Structure 1
Amino acid sequence: MAPPPYTACIKEPPPVTSQTIAVVLYDDVLLLDVAGPIEVFSVANRYLPVAHHYQVRTYAPGGRPVRSSCGLVLQADAALPQVPEAAALLLVPGGPGAYARQQPELATWLAAHARQARRWGAVCTGAFLLGAAGLLDGHRCTTHWNYQARLASEYPATRVEPDQIYVADGALLTTGGVTAGIDMALAVVAQDHGKETALEVAKVLMVVMRRQGGQAPYAPLLAAVLRDDSAIARVQAYVVDHIDQAFSVARLAEMATMSARNFARAFAREVGITPMEYVQNARIDHARKLLESTDLPLKQVACRAGFGSARHMRLVFAERMGLTPSQYRLQFSYT
């Protein structure tokens, strides 16, 4: 059954004036970053009195059409100077055009005008355009897990939160990858019109109001192992290839023909985490592959990944991933 234009069962929200959601477009923007949040606000209007409707508008440099990264051409409603100063939200979607292209005109405009909006933010890699405009300096933010290290490196004055689906820091809103723009838009609707309205929108879109596990379940904990002749690389490769074995710092140091203290220091300096953190991350990644691709009982998954018991694996998963192994399998299994 289609939702009614007004929902009597939902408690009337506090008065909110008609408001503009200003979405910035540019060449090589990711289409889903644009469409996902827009659909949230569009569906929300079905549940709101007309006076409270969101007015979604798109803006591009020069008001010209832009070609999205998938090839579809988008016609902006207007040029950037026409963005209302008091927009409820100024939103910058992500895409290759945000992190792989120079957008000086857009960055300059954002630096001068974004803070005039009540809230401003980015979906996914749109954070790079905010960074270029100086809008991330001194703020907490996030972006897609695959680009977090690069964002932190290019804009060191910001603090990148690695495991968040979206981050609200004052008026600044940023999200993880792609569909996280929907999560952020639902949070905006909840803030403006109450959680009940946001939940109704989530039901229509068949998404959850709050995902479990943040970004951690989507990102590998370890990068691919460099299989060279260095002592540290040899140890890393051995751990990954023999993950069902028991390891200690002393045993790993022996493989590297180093003292335990020197090995631990060298490993942390070169890899960025301690040897035992590396072992645990390797166990989690191996278990995740088994949970995704097999129907093995959890006890066998735990044994093959070196956890020793399903109980220990469950504790580690819950702490590190925000999901139990069973929940992870339910969400990501392709068998």
Structure 2
Amino acid sequence: CNGLVLQPHCRFDEIDPATARYDLILATGGAGLQGAPWEPEFYEWLRRVCSASRRYGSICNGAFVLAHAGLLEERTVTTHWHAAAALAELCPTTHVEPDRIFVRDDNLYTSAGVTAGIDLSLYLVAQDHGREIGLQVAKRLVVFTQRSGGQSQFSPYLTPLSEPASTVTMVQKYVQAHLAENLSVSVLANVANLSVRNFTRVFTREAKMAPAGFVESARVDAARALLESSGAPLKRIADRCGFKDTHNMRQAFKRRFGVTPQQYRANFSTADSTNITHDTGPPI
């Protein structure tokens, strides 16, 4: 829509793999990549060039190009969530993580959907030229830089809910609007006007997770948004998002991200560090 045209300069067989040395090779995504492999000569060329280059990787389902070349064996990767199962089936020895924005495995970099390629690109820019340059590029593109490869592709606020008029959607919206309140299964069942047993069964079937799991996901997602964008004390964030205390929030973050709220803030906060207020009392 902006007039940009991507035009290849040459065919792969016009580049001598014996002398080709690149800083980065990326296989882009597109229609048809999950179909039959292309000519064997291309994949042989790709294997040689990638092995001689500093880094290589893929955007979206471009991972299938690398897979057909045998470049994903025994590696950890990601791709668009819709293609993750097919990639895992194609590459039994590959560990496919469907719920990641991007994954780095040594010199192999793979990203999820097309917009996740922006996250990966900003990561690579920051890796090569420093965080400050990465921030400047992000500002120029009017995008955020705080998403990391370790973060989920989804959140309760971004993932499509159930059918708009369904009882489960009503409950999900209630959860998101009342995070600091009691959100036990009995309370949610009452909101849905169902018995606890029937509500749990219906919610799990439609939302693909148990009610308690959704509640924790919503609270964690709200907490990480506050950690990224504000300097509020951890106790205040825990209270506002419905955690019993900072220890309970810490446990939830460790389960879902493998880091503490403090570590998450240190890595992904866009707030001025001089304005971050720390709680008094023992460390959490």
Residue 134 of structure 1, CA deviation: 8.2
Q: Pick closer, same or farther for the CA change 1:132–1:325 going to 2, 3 Å.
A: closer
Q: Aligned partner of 1:71: which letter?
A: L
| 2:151 paired with 1:217 | yes
Question: For residues 124 and 137 of structure 1, what CA distance do their matches in structure 2 show?
Answer: 14
Q: Aligned partner of 1:265: which letter?
A: R
Match of residue 239 from structure 1: 175
Match of residue 42 from structure 2: 113
Q: CA RMSD in A?
A: 4.3
Q: 2:58 aligns with which of 123, 145, 161?
A: 123
Residue 74 of structure 1, CA deviation: 6.1
More strand by share: 1
Question: For residues 318 and 104 of structure 1, what CA distance do their matches in structure 2 show?
Answer: 35
Q: Aligned partner of 1:253: which letter?
A: A
Q: Pick closer, same or farther for the CA change 1:300–1:105 going to 2, 3 Å.
A: closer
Question: For residues 188 and 270 of structure 2, what CA distance do their matches in structure 1 show?
Answer: 33
Structure 2: segments with no counterpart, 5+ residues:
132-145, 273-284
Residue 112 of structure 1, CA deviation: 5.0
Residue 283 of structure 1, CA deviation: 0.1
Match of residue 96 from structure 2: 160
Deviations 1:303-332 (A, max 9, x none): 010012122212221331233323333423
| 2:222 paired with 1:286 | yes
Task: Give matches, 1:41-190, under 5 Å.
Answer: 71=4, 76=9, 78-84=10-16, 91-94=25-28, 98-99=29-30, 101-102=31-32, 108-109=38-39, 112-115=41-44, 117=47, 122-125=57-60, 127-130=62-65, 133=68, 142-143=77-78, 148-152=80-84, 155=87, 157-158=89-90, 160-161=96-97, 162-163=99-100, 165-166=102-103, 168=105, 173-176=108-111, 177-178=116-117, 180=120
Q: Aligned partner of 1:93: which letter?
A: A
Aligned partners of 2:219 and 2:242 also within 8 Å:
yes
Q: 1:250 aligns with which of 174, 186, 199?
A: 186
Aligned residues, how many? 238
Q: Pick closer, same or farther for the CA change 1:232–1:261 going to 2, 3 Å.
A: same
Aligned partners of 2:27 and 2:65 also within 8 Å:
no
Q: Pick closer, same or farther for the CA change 1:125–1:108 going to 2, 3 Å.
A: same
Question: For residues 3 and 96 of structure 2, what CA distance do their matches in structure 1 show?
Answer: 28
Aligned partners of 2:102 and 2:150 also within 8 Å:
no
Deviations 1:256-291 (A, max 9, x none): 233333332322221122111111100011112222
Question: For residues 27 and 130 of structure 2, what CA distance do their matches in structure 1 show?
Answer: 22
Normalising by the residue count of structure 1, what TM-score does the alignment of the two structures yield? 0.55
Q: Pick closer, same or farther for the CA change 1:70–1:229 going to 2, 3 Å.
A: same
Normalising by the residue count of structure 2, what TM-score does the alignment of the two structures yield? 0.63
Q: Percent of aligned positions with the same letter in both sequences?
A: 26
Structure 1: segments with no counterpart, 5+ residues:
1-27, 29-68, 186-200
